Amino acid sequence: MMASSESNSASESDTADTQTTASDSLNSLIASTSDKAECADVQCSLASQCAMSCEDGELKMEQRKSVCCNAVAQCVWGCLLLVVSIGGFLFTPLDVMLKEKLNMRPGFPPFEWWADPPDEVKLRVYVFNVTNHERFMKGLDSKMHISEIGPIVYLEKLLHSNIRFNDNSTMSYTAKRFPIFLPDENTVDLNSTIIVPNLAVLGMASFLYDANYIVRTGFRFLVNSHGSDLFLKKTIYEYLWDYKEPVLDTSKHLVPGMVPVNNMGMLARIYSDFTDEVTVKIGQQWGHSQFFHIDRFRGQPQLPGYDPDRCPDRIFGSTEGVMYHQHLTKEDILMYWRKTVCKSMPLYFDSEMMLDSVPVYRYNLSEIAFERVKNGTDCYDTVPGLPSGLSDGSKCYFDFPMVISYPHFYTGSPPKDMYVTGLVPDREKHSSHVIVEPMTGIPFQSVARMQSNLRVNDMSGFAGEYTRFSNLVVPLFWAEYNQEGLPLHISWTIYFMIVILPPLSSVMLTFTLLLGCYFITKQIYIHKLRNDSLDSILHFKSKNVNTLAKNKIFLYEKEAFIKMPS
């Protein structure tokens, strides 16, 4: 019995040891598994940011140092990209460039292009030759018959100097224009002769038409003493550049106030005084609508030579045509100032078109710009009055009786055969227009055509052959100022700004917006995933503990522990 009892006791002890060993092994396995889970949780919580496995230790450390995988850096980059993209949509790169252009900063392309304008303006001059002067003087023909000769082609050079930036957001500069003869583009011999009216004699006679008898008689004596005829033969060069008459030299000494010059050459007179002080508006305070509008011309806001109290027209708000204001609309009226016309003239929208693959607007010069104004504020009429279609230009030509019109009176005001015969009006050949890119206000092409005429007053006080010219308007010449395009580097820059930049910036800003959203969304997702993983691990641990607590092994050990003899 004793042996059996000891045997049973040993057997129970071995069983208990076996159970204890199994229990210890299981507990060790569970503890080991739990420890590994805790280790994995700690090690992989940061590694999940870069999608790395826990075993890639060294690579994980390098990635953590990388900016692209740093959670804070990616959030910052995402926010910055979102701000940049949204700001880019609100203020597009083109808007920023146009706003910067308002300042006209030296060193930037808009200023440099304007300061040294390209040589793209061609001056084409057409002179009129009187073909029936003898018949006209004899009374056989009631009107002069004229024929057109030309063009005589020049390059008009424009220089800007003495540029100053003023405190009131304006810029002052000196503009000088002069022509350069282009022999390769000319087919007209400047030494060929033409018959033209004696401008010196007829001009002074027209100026003295209402003078007293003694003055008129003295003038006729002066003309006769020099043997001056009412028609002269001149070479084309003399007519344009070196028109001199003996009566001019004498008159200049006798009455210098009435005859300030002794050279009546058409182009010589125009370009002898073509250096002007101009002040224009720049800066963001004026906005796009007033950019580069003239504020002062030769220090005055009104037209030169006109009484500001009687003449309501002002030169401010107009432009010389080198640059127009930005963000043009179809309702805008462009005011064009040209000194040779001595008048600020309006251009109205005509059509949209494509030029050099760039969408542009065409504005036409108003065909009623020279019509008479009936409300008593007509600045460009004379005494006696001018018919519609003619504008007084004497204020810009030393009070010489010069009147301006459209070439060949093409608008029908005055009728083409009213004063002379031989005119052939053509709207396509004689009209004026400008083609301008509306966003930048840069003209791609422009054509300004004007005709200069001699206005002769009533010559009845002089009697004799002078009366043949009474109340005549004699066409002298007409000129075309033609900007024939832009240099390649300027046209390509505008093409990039207007055609390529807007869609390109939209694509880039959209990509930037999506990239910023990706960075932020990625970090939000990873942060949520990490929190969910942590919750799952904690829940898994709690579940394991509860499960093990209910396991039969623990119950068996509990029962065995209770049954063990003390």
pLDDT value at residue 147: 96
Furthest-apart CA atoms within the chain: distance in Å: 179
Closest CA to 237 of 274, 289, 192, 277: 192
**CA–CA–CA angle 451, 445, 437 (5° rounding):** 135
Contacts of 506 (CB under 8 A, 6+ apart): none
The answer to whether 319 and 308 have CB atoms below 8 angstroms apart is no
Neighbour-count burial of 141, counting CB atoms closer than 10 A to its CB (0-12 exposed, 13-18 middle, 19+ buried) = middle
Half-sphere exposure of 372 (CA within 13 A, CB side): 10
pTM: predicted TM-score of the whole model, two decimal places: 0.77
pLDDT value at residue 32: 47
In total, the chain counts a number of residues equal to 566
Contacts of 56 (CB under 8 A, 6+ apart): 47
Element (H, E) at 449: strand 442-455
Contacts of 418 (CB under 8 A, 6+ apart): 387, 409, 473
Q: Tokens representing 179?
A: 């022509």
Residues of the chain with pLDDT under 50: 1-34, 36-54
**In the structure, how many helices (H) and strands (E) does the chain have?**
15, 16
Q: Tokens representing 225?
A: 């003493």
Domain boundaries, the chain: 12-88+503-563, 119-486
Question: What's the pLDDT tens digit per position in 511-528?
Answer: 777 777 777 777 777 666
The answer to whether 336 and 295 have CB atoms below 8 angstroms apart is no
Half-sphere exposure of 525 (CA within 13 A, CB side): 9
pLDDT value at residue 554: 53
Question: What's the pLDDT tens digit per position in 488-503?
Answer: 888 899 999 899 888 8
The answer to whether 148 and 128 have CB atoms below 8 angstroms apart is yes
Q: Tokens representing 286?
A: 């004026």
The answer to whether 336 and 448 have CB atoms below 8 angstroms apart is yes
